[in-house]
Structure 1
Amino acid sequence: MKKTIFIFSTLIVALLILFRLSEYAFLVGDTSIELIIAIVAIVFLGIGLYINKKRAETIPRKDGEIDAKKIKELGISDREYEVLLEISNGLSNKEIGEKLFVSESTIKTHVSNLLVKLDAKRRTQAIQRAKELQIIAG
């Protein structure tokens, strides 16, 4: 969590510096407003691509021994699948919420939905059932 706060704080500071530099360049008359807007847009694009790449690295690919068709048949959403993977890693609801940037009550809702969809009464039973159905690595 500290790493995430540090990254976002750094991004905010970098954007503030960018805005200050663009304000200075515009006031001096060296740069047009269109160029400043383009630079800011490119910076945001880069940040978005970086965050997307990092997020994609944390989600295992649904290939090989994982049955993607079964996931769709069960009606498990992408977010519920992420929660299922984190449950299989042994994380608590609070830890999963912090990792996925959602509230603990949202995670509880996803867990409840998973229990129903996997016909399980407990989290451990849901993980066991998911392994049997080959929707998570076992």
Structure 2
Amino acid sequence: MVKDLTIEFYLGVVATIFTAVGIWTGLKLTRTKTKVVVQTEFTFNEIELNRLGISKRELEVLTLMAQGLSNQEIADKLFVSLNTIKTHSSNLFLKLEVNRRTQAIQKAKALSLIR
């Protein structure tokens, strides 16, 4: 009789612990997460822009690239041909000394040319 109660008691304790851990885990996983966003004021680096020799149109193209637009979308938005955008992109890559769009965007952000 005592042995049966002890087993039932331990099973009850284990079940309670599992329930508590399950509730705690559920609350932890479903809790809304707060995100802290620190916005700093953007200061455009015109000195670097002039040093690199990037034109206003090339800067426009670079800004639109950073917004995720494709070459065709940029061409449509600026009312120029796709070939013109490819030429601007190529010139930007040379001036920024990069090989890819992502590298150009990353470097332009590091140089404070774009946001």
CA distance in structure 2 between the aligned counterparts of 1:85 and 1:92, rounded to whole angstroms: 12
Aligned residue-pair number: 75
Which residue number in structure 1 is paired with residue 76 of structure 2? 98
> What's the offset of the Cα at 1:64?
4.7
> What's the offset of the Cα at 1:69?
1.3
> What's the offset of the Cα at 1:134?
0.9
Superposed CA deviations along residues 85-117 of structure 1, whole A, max 9, x for unmatched, are 000000000000000000000000000000010
Which residue number in structure 2 is paired with residue 79 of structure 1? 57
Superposed CA deviations along residues 62-83 of structure 1, whole A, max 9, x for unmatched, are x951101111110000100000
Which residue number in structure 2 is paired with residue 124 of structure 1? 102
CA distance in structure 1 between the aligned counterparts of 2:103 and 2:57, rounded to whole angstroms: 19
CA distance in structure 2 between the aligned counterparts of 1:90 and 1:68, rounded to whole angstroms: 23
Code of the aligned partner of 1:99: K
Which residue number in structure 2 is paired with residue 69 of structure 1? 47
Code of the aligned partner of 2:104: A
1:8-47 pair list within 5 angstroms: none
Which residue number in structure 2 is paired with residue 31 of structure 1? none
Larger RCO, structure (CA 8 Å, separation 6 or more): 2
SS of 1:126 mapped into structure 2: helix
Structure 2 length-normalised TM: 0.63
| Structure possessing the higher radius of gyration over alpha carbons | 2
- Runs of 4+ more than 4 Å apart: none
CA distance in structure 2 between the aligned counterparts of 1:132 and 1:64, rounded to whole angstroms: 12
SS of 1:134 mapped into structure 2: coil
1:89 to 67, 77, 90: 67
Cα RMSD after superposing both structures: 1.3
Q: Indicate the percent of aligned positions where both proteins have the same amino acid.
A: 55
